[in-house]
Amino acid sequence: MAEMFESRAKVILHLDMNSFFASVEQAHDPSLKGIPMAVAGNPKERRGILVTCSYEARALGIYTTMTVGDAKRICPTLVIVPPDFLKYRAASTAIFDLLRTYTELVEPVSIDEAYIDITAIGGLTDAVKIASGIQERILRELDLPCSIGIAPNKFLAKTASDMKKPMGITILRKREVERILWPLPVIEMHGIGKSTEKKMNALGISTIGDLANADENIVKVSLGKNGSRLQQRANGIDERLVDPAAGDERKSVGSSTTLPIDETELDACFAVFKQLANRVAVRLANNELAGNVVMIQIRTADWRNQTRSRTVLNPIYKEDDIYREAIDLFEKHWDCEPVRLLGITVTNVISIIEIHEQLSIYNFEEHEEKKRISDLILKLEDQFGPGVIKKGNK
């Protein structure tokens, strides 16, 4: 084990809960264990979508995002339960509390995964022992299975945790990147989606190895800073630290600015809110977050502070949505006093991945229709050029 990392190198664990929603349901109802079962938005609606499913169901060819109807055709006896996000959040909190009994260097990154820096509590010498202890305690105390990756950085640890499921513990050494990762299709690398894959394929990059060894300038020009970052990770390089404060930061994302003059014009204030909405949207996007509470801050020329907030039905993260809610709040509550400072904060934030899961549960048909329209527009633009389709006014 001692040869795994260079001297004094970081030792990072990535914990990934296995089939989390389904596992929580099984922990609450043991009769669901050992059988094909799934969590879906509307068990009675055949077009409802599966959010997750048990490993017994997966063994039959059933998978997440499959419709209830398709899953039932494969396994008529499949047991489907509705989602209970309060239950899942409670389980998530218990998991992170357990992790913090080992070290404060715990960074939750979604409802069911976290990074843990164990460098100072055993490091490379005790990495497997610590990971095994965590895995066993979560199973014994919470009745939930997990997989854990061990590596010298976040990217490799996350990659490793995916290599053996369920209940796996996997070590990924930096020196193994070339042998293990480079032969894989680039789409299998964390951080690369279909859109980025398409751009990379156009550059002749089809495997992770191709990306690792591509011309740095071409990658940067074609894909920007994100391309350079992905190329570093393809070479096993990731200098991000485990940051416990990042979890607190994710509870809210905001931006404020002091105005150059005490402003009294509504349009000028709107222009400031537009800039602030852009900044908040960029930060949300960079952290893959969305929130359902929009709050504005108003500080008047006499240093009187006001905050006003609104809760929206579906979490938001786009600039236009944030801006619209902010200026509506401002119009309703501004008393025309000269303004010295303005701010926007989006709170009650969660991972966009979790948002997509919830949207897929409750709005599957609506979003499927939007996706079909979006796909059609992309095809038309590929054939006839960008901008061939214009959005009309109602």
Asked if residues 120 and 103 have their Cβ atoms less than 8 Å apart, the reply is yes
* 112 is an annotated ligand-binding site residue: yes
Examine residue 166 and say whether the peptide bond preceding it is cis (omega within 30 degrees of 0). yes
Residue 301: is it exposed, middle or buried by C-beta count within 10 angstroms (0-12/13-18/19+)? middle
Q: Which of 25, 56, 107, 113 is catalytic?
A: 113
N-to-C CA span, the chain: 64
Tokens 């499913």 correspond to 53
Task: List all residues 6 or more positions away from 137 whose beta carbon is below 8 Å from its beta carbon.
Answer: 98
Tokens 């490799």 correspond to 156
Tokens 């006093």 correspond to 337
Question: Nearest CA to 363 among 51, 24, 20?
Answer: 51
Residue 241: is it exposed, middle or buried by C-beta count within 10 angstroms (0-12/13-18/19+)? middle
What phi and psi values does residue 332 have, to the nearest 5 degrees? -75, -30
**Beta strand pairing call for 339-351 and 289-300:** antiparallel
Task: Name the E strands within 32-158.
Answer: 37-40, 50-53, 79-81, 106-110, 113-117, 146-151
Sheet holding 79-81, edge to edge: 50-53, 37-40, 79-81
Asked if residues 304 and 353 have their Cβ atoms less than 8 Å apart, the reply is no
Count of CB atoms within 10 A of residue 28's CB? 13
263 is catalytic: no
Q: Rg for the chain (alpha carbons), in Å?
A: 24
Residues 280, 271: Cα–Cα separation, whole Å = 15
Question: Which tokens is 95 given?
Answer: 């998991």
Residues 25, 9: Cα–Cα separation, whole Å = 39
Asked if residues 35 and 350 have their Cβ atoms less than 8 Å apart, the reply is no
Binding residues for Mg(2+): 16, 112
Q: Which residues are catalytic?
A: 113
